[in-house]
């Protein structure tokens, strides 16, 4: 990937695998903290404060 990162909080998508007509796979950059699905499943019972939720939303919306 030769272009600069579009945003520090966006994972780079390198490609899509479509060998099975009933599913597909994404080829993305390595994420040190694991994948989003497992992080969400691990945290499903976690209660976040309003401040933490707002910080997450601000991080998502941050423009560099």
Q: What is the pLDDT of residue 2?
A: 59
Residue 22 has what pLDDT? 92
- Res. 63 pLDDT band, cuts 50 70 90: low
What pLDDT digit, counting tens, does each position of 2-56 carry? 566 777 777 888 999 999 889 999 898 888 888 777 877 787 777 878 898 888 8
Q: What is the pLDDT of residue 15?
A: 93
What's the pLDDT score for residue 7?
72
Convert 2-33 to b/e letters by CB count within 10 Å (16 or more is b): eeeeeeeeeeeeeeeeeeeeeeeeeeeeeeee
């Amino acid at each position: 990937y030769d272009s600069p990162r579009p945003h520090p909080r966006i994972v780079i998508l390198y490609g899509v695998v479509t060998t099975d007509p009933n599913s597909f796979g994404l080829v993305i950059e390595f994420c040190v903290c694991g994948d989003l699905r497992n992080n969400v499943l691990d945290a499903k019972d976690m209660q976040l404060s309003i401040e933490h939720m707002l910080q997450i939303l601000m991080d998502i919306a941050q423009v560099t």
